[in-house]
Amino acid sequence: MTSELAIQQRQTSVPATVAAGMTLFRHLLEEVRMQGIAGDGAQALQEDGWKRTLAAVIALLRHAHTMIESAEDTIRKQEQRIAHLEGLTTTDELTGIRNRRGFYEIFIRELDRCERGQSEGGLMVLIDLDNFKAINDTHGHAAGDACLRLVARTLASEIRLMDTAARLGGDEYVLLLANTTKQEAAGRAQRLGKQLNNLSLAWHGEIIPIHASLGLRSYARGDSAAAIFSDADTQMYASKRERHRKENAEAQG
């Protein structure tokens, strides 16, 4: 069930109750009219009929009010449940930030805003942890999970409300720095890269360093999601290869 269906239920339940009440009301009025024209004592019967009609209508309205309140409460709970379920489909269970599906929903909307001139564009930042496999192999998967959560918290704490942080899967993350200039976004991404590569996890008396490679791709009107992801991914792996080259050179020197 979707939230649209819940709204539709709200829109149809109340008119149905009112229609039923109007049908009963017309029936009672017809009964009074028939009593009012039947023989002697017609006026007394008519007055009595009106009283009974009024009492019936009041009772009906009270009952309808109770039914409407109950329906509103049920629909409100359904909408809350739907919102919760929809949140689960777009949230990464381990880290609490958005997952791949949740990111794509926001990213496509942001590109649409660019096309309509409502956003000047921004920057996508792909992030891949360089030593995640070694952390898992050396310290165990629990340490790896703690590392993933630490990175997610770091990313979430460094973005604006209009930006988005997501975990695409495994040890790969993505940031969307929306509606900002290329220069400003690049500066923020550079600072974030330094922060990530100076990040460490305290784990059972040990300090586990974290290293990450970043791939940056600015976007604007006319760009496609596939091209942006592809370019950012290419740059990220180029950055990773350059890091490994430097590390190997330092080890041999």
Give the residue numbers marked as catalytic: 171
Burial 11-29 (b: 16+ CB within 10 A, else e): eebeeebeeebeeeeeebe
Distance CA 173, CA 203 (A): 22
For residue 160, what are its two tokens?
Answer: 């604006």
Distance CA 147, CA 167 (A): 13
Amino acid letter at 167?
R
In the numeric block, the tokens 């229609």 are attached to: 19
For residue 172, what are its two tokens?
Answer: 């790969």
Sign of the CA dihedral running 166, 167, 168, 174? positive
Torsion of CA 221, 225, 227, 231, to 10 degrees: 100
Distance CA 90, CA 71 (A): 29
